[in-house]
Amino acid sequence: MTIKTYIIGMLVSTIVSFAAWFLVLQNVDPNSAGLPGFLLFYFTLFFALTSFFSLVGFYLRRKIFENSIEFKQVEVAFRQGMFFAVTFVGLLILQGERMLDIYSAFLFVLFVVVMEFYFLVKK
């Protein structure tokens, strides 16, 4: 797979994921949907944010590290995009359950940062 194919695929996936998320927002009633409605909301948002953050991360990494191997940048950008999406959706879930305060947010973000450091050190 070339970098161009990856970028086009991620752009298409971003557009489709955000379109699916907007459809869920427009057509699912949170009062009557129950668990499947909430799962649809969070999964479509997660996929949309993962692809969006991956594209933005790849673009920024390409600008900052111009002389590095692009396939390595794709891997790191995708992983960090997933971590950003997990953080955003996780905090949103905690807020939806009325469990979000400064301490739980700090611990959640700290856990995600530790996971990223693990992957950085693992190499």
Please check the confidence at residue 123 and state whether its pLDDT lies above 80. no
Residues 6+ apart with CB under 8 A from 61: 68, 73, 76, 77
- pLDDT tens for residues 16-63? 999 999 999 999 988 898 999 999 999 999 999 999 999 999 999 999
Strands (E), the chain: none
Residue 2, judged by CB atoms within 10 A of its CB (0-12, 13-18, 19+), counts as exposed
- pLDDT tens for residues 64-109? 988 878 888 999 999 999 999 999 999 999 999 999 999 999 999 9
